[in-house]
Structure 1
Amino acid sequence: MFAQHTLLVSLVLITRCHSQHVGYKLSKSSEPPIRLGILDSFVQGVHDIATVLSSVPDTISILLNQDEEQINLYAPSDNEDAYLNITQLTAKYGYPCEEHSVETEDGYIINMHRIPHGRKNRMNNSTVFLMHGFMDSSDSWILQGPDKALAYILADEGFDVWLGNARGNKHALRHNTLNRNQSDFWDFTWEDMGIYDLPVMIDHALNVTDKESLYYIGYSQGTTSFFVMTSLKPEYNDKIKMMFALAPVAWMANVRSPLVKMFSPAFNFLSNVLWDYNFINTEFLESFSGTICGILGTNCHSVMYMIVGHDSKYMNDVMPVMLGHMPTTSSTLQLVHYGQLVKSGRFCRFDFGAQRNMEIYGAEYPPDYDLSNVAVPVVLYFSENDWLADIADVQILEHHLQNIYESNYIQDFNHLDFLYASKANEIIYSKIVTQILDFAEVD
């Protein structure tokens, strides 16, 4: 029955090709980067989806038969923290918050946030930079509140805390020549965040604090973009004392999320058909999740956990606040690029197709990111219950990194728990503080 629904949805989508925006262009090319024609891409996508569907029915069946509480993910919250912005939230809980604006080399204007100290009057001589995940923002690091959110914990320990933002999210919707209603504004992937966004934000934080290096904590896409930066701009290794990778995403060959596995082969096609301006917003996600919930005959609570991993026993209290702040806007090309990693089994640059790849890279296929350039000491945090950052893929990443300082297996965490679990402070964050302090003594 599910396969029949998928075919029906696919037929509906292809009829929209005549009226919808069916192509996008990257700044590197004046032609659409999609390798195949729209029909060929669709046919290939349906073939790939059919192949994946045959391998995951047992997983889907288990999830759909779970006896879960019926939760409307988009229902209004009675917690005011879901509606306060980041400066209002920090003020509410007694923390200072500065907003700093930086401009990237390619013209994006990004607001980043700084919590220079906490409420305990402790002073530490170290600067810590935190980078969020896909469709998220700097807000994510404070949503659990004092004593639980990582940004507050670090600030209370006396660290100078900087919260980065990626182009296209709600804190980075400006450009010096483009308007966010133009498709060209959304012409980027997470590679551009590693090449342009992270360097300018890190440089700004170091300039303001008069430091030569800082500690970097990345979550999910915040790890992907970091590995891009240190691979393609290895001079930034000298500016990072240590990198903490929470739920690291690089290789994705073993991703276990049924929905990601099903749809990733068709991300190229769907990005052309479903989004006129190449970006994802909350309105689309509400519509998409509602459709998927209806097709699967399950509640949206189940659908979310079909992406990130089994239902979390740690997140019930913070979920309404989390959903008041995320998801935020992102480019569909970020999703397309991740889909390419799933399909190819590689950690590589964007695949434009053989002809454009030859023009851009000088080879038929995009090159892998050279992680031998990553000299920074890396601390890994990962979990078997994470269906996006699978242990097998993290082990591949670990094998390619030259300087693993420590590798930490966390039991029972799904992909979101690394940020939003009620016990993340006990299980992970307190350990990060200790690791920074210990490393600072040695350093």
Structure 2
Amino acid sequence: MYIYLLLLLICKVSNASVEDRGLWDLLGSILNYSNSALVPEDANLSITELGNKYGYRVEQHTVTTEDGYILNFHRIPTRSRKVRPVVFFMHGLLDSSDTWLLLGPNKALAYLLADLEFDVWLGNSRGNKHCQNHTTMYNTDSEFWHFSWEEIAVHDLPAMIDYILQVTGMQNLYYVGHSQGTTTGYVLCAMKPEYNNKIKMMFSLAPEAWMGHIRSPLVKIFSPAHSVLAYLLSDFSADYAGVDFFNKISTFVCTIVPARCDNVLFALSGYETKINETFLAVILGHSPSGSSTFQFAHYGQLVESHRFCRYDFGRQGNLAAYNQTVPPDYDLSLVTTPVVIFYSAKDLLSDPKDVNILIKNLNNVRETIFLEDFTHLDYVYAQDAADVIYNKIIRRIISDEEN
């Protein structure tokens, strides 16, 4: 309940007049200033400031997609003078490149790989806080937000991957995806099979493809009305100022009464999370980071249809888009890059039954690692993620490089 009240607040901010918006901005500034001693410093730092604080140089790179979206994404360059393997990270829904650094040194996978002198790149998708520009549209134009995660897969990922390979001179890279970052990885390799050769190995954390067995109470309640929900939350994607305001308010609330935030996160992604209560304020200082409501709607369609398929525009829209009345399935037989999958019994958003369907439809699953007690967000925010997951990824990459 709390999260939806906050989302409605965001919509109110987005619809406010300029004068009213100034009052909200002022309130946010007052909260941010007066409670700066209470809120953890990392909650308010930019991604480059986070890196600098802990002794890592974080570069910003920019690329324009073929359909005009301007993407800013980030790199922790290798400290080695030798050519080192490239590892590319892709975040989940409502997240950004920030996600991969929040755990801090000796815990975050991006830092652990950087310590081993890998060339680390952190991707961003259109519509999040780092990617709010376009060559011909403003982010206040409704057309700017007419995309789902399929467009991220077939436009954003190729633009970033090609740029990275050109800059580094490498022929391929390792891909680490969490949640939506796994969805886009599969869709990329299925719809643009030539990218299978550019991804040396794909690590899928809490994969999302088939979603018919999802157990999240909040998602099960709202997925049947995904089109209505998309309409109600339209302002959530249309104005990053509202999202930024949400970050300020929620960071403050979760610093004062973390149990309230616990309840929302548990109901959404899984109970008995490994996330430290005091760390919630840091997370909510950086997430949500902005997205299109079509991304939510597309996932809602997967929940209802029990399929892994393209966006359903309705009978007439599907005829125009696909020349058939129902959206086609993604052909995962075309995904030939090696895949390593991490999934868990306690993940309410990535149910083991659905993951097993995914595994059966992928032709080159090298390894599956089943975890008993990780929730959906634990993969990127649990204090013991390095011991349970990240060290396995590192060992796998090192072994692959040696062979």
TM interval, shorter chain, is 0.7 to 0.9
Corresponding letter in the other structure for 1:301: D
Aligned counterpart in structure 2 of residue 350 of structure 1, from 292, 301, 311: 311
2:176 alignment partner, SS class: strand
1:382-402 Cα distance to aligned partner (Å, 9 max, x none)? 111100011111100000000
2:204 alignment partner, SS class: strand
2:123 aligned residue: 164
2:391 aligned residue: 430
Alpha-carbon distance between aligned partners in 2 of 1:126 and 1:414, rounded to the nearest angstrom: 30
1:208-266 Cα distance to aligned partner (Å, 9 max, x none)? 00000000000000000111100100000010100000000011000000110110111
2:283 aligned residue: 322
2:285 alignment partner, SS class: helix
2:213 aligned residue: 254
Corresponding letter in the other structure for 2:229: L
How many Å apart are 1:356 and its aligned residue?
A: 1.2
> Which protein has the larger Cα radius of gyration, Structure 1 or Structure 2?
1
Aligned counterpart in structure 2 of residue 400 of structure 1, from 361, 365, 368: 361
How many Å apart are 1:315 and its aligned residue?
A: 2.9
How many Å apart are 1:158 and its aligned residue?
A: 1.1
1:380 alignment partner, SS class: strand
2:253 aligned residue: none
Q: 1:140 to 1:123 in 2, by over 3 A?
A: farther
Taking the TM superposition and a 5 Å limit, the aligned residue runs for 1:41-120 are 78-117=39-78
1:239 aligned residue: 198
> Is this contact kept in 1: 2:226–2:296, CA < 8 A?
yes
How many Å apart are 1:123 and its aligned residue?
A: 5.8
> Is this contact kept in 2: 1:243–1:376, CA < 8 A?
yes
1:371 aligned residue: 332
**Identity value in percent:** 51
1:439 aligned residue: 400
1:180-215 Cα distance to aligned partner (Å, 9 max, x none)? 111111110000000100000000110000000000
2:165 aligned with 1:206: yes
> Is this contact kept in 2: 1:219–1:246, CA < 8 A?
yes
1:309 aligned residue: 270
How many Å apart are 1:316 and its aligned residue?
A: 2.6
1:340 alignment partner, SS class: helix
2:331 aligned with 1:336: no
1:326-371 Cα distance to aligned partner (Å, 9 max, x none)? 1111100000000000000000000000111112111110000000
Corresponding letter in the other structure for 2:231: N
Alpha-carbon distance between aligned partners in 2 of 1:360 and 1:313, rounded to the nearest angstrom: 43
How many Å apart are 1:319 and its aligned residue?
A: 1.8
**What value does the CA root-mean-square deviation take over the aligned residues?**
2.4
Structure 2: any 5+ residue segments left out of the alignment? 9-14, 16-34, 251-258
How many Å apart are 1:411 and its aligned residue?
A: 2.1
Corresponding letter in the other structure for 1:132: H
Corresponding letter in the other structure for 2:293: T
Q: 1:419 to 1:278 in 2, by over 3 A?
A: closer
Corresponding letter in the other structure for 1:330: S
1:125 aligned residue: 84
Corresponding letter in the other structure for 2:125: A
2:134 aligned residue: 175
1:388 aligned residue: 349
2:255 aligned residue: none
Q: 1:422 to 1:300 in 2, by over 3 A?
A: closer
1:293-343 Cα distance to aligned partner (Å, 9 max, x none)? xxxxx9442122111000313433422211111111110000000000000
TM-score (norm 1): 0.78
Aligned pair count reads 362
Aligned counterpart in structure 1 of residue 378 of structure 2, from 417, 427, 430: 417
Corresponding letter in the other structure for 1:354: R
1:389 alignment partner, SS class: coil
Alpha-carbon distance between aligned partners in 2 of 1:124 and 1:305, rounded to the nearest angstrom: 42
TM-score (norm 2): 0.85
Q: 1:252 to 1:80 in 2, by over 3 A?
A: same
How many Å apart are 1:274 and its aligned residue?
A: 4.2
1:325 alignment partner, SS class: coil
> Is this contact kept in 1: 2:226–2:297, CA < 8 A?
yes
Q: 1:133 to 1:389 in 2, by over 3 A?
A: same
2:277 alignment partner, SS class: coil
Alpha-carbon distance between aligned partners in 1 of 2:132 and 2:81, rounded to the nearest angstrom: 35
2:147 aligned with 1:188: yes
Alpha-carbon distance between aligned partners in 2 of 1:274 and 1:381, rounded to the nearest angstrom: 31
Corresponding letter in the other structure for 2:111: Y
Q: 1:82 to 1:278 in 2, by over 3 A?
A: closer
Corresponding letter in the other structure for 1:247: A
The structure carrying a bigger helix percent of its residues is 2
> Is this contact kept in 2: 1:123–1:157, CA < 8 A?
no
Corresponding letter in the other structure for 2:108: A
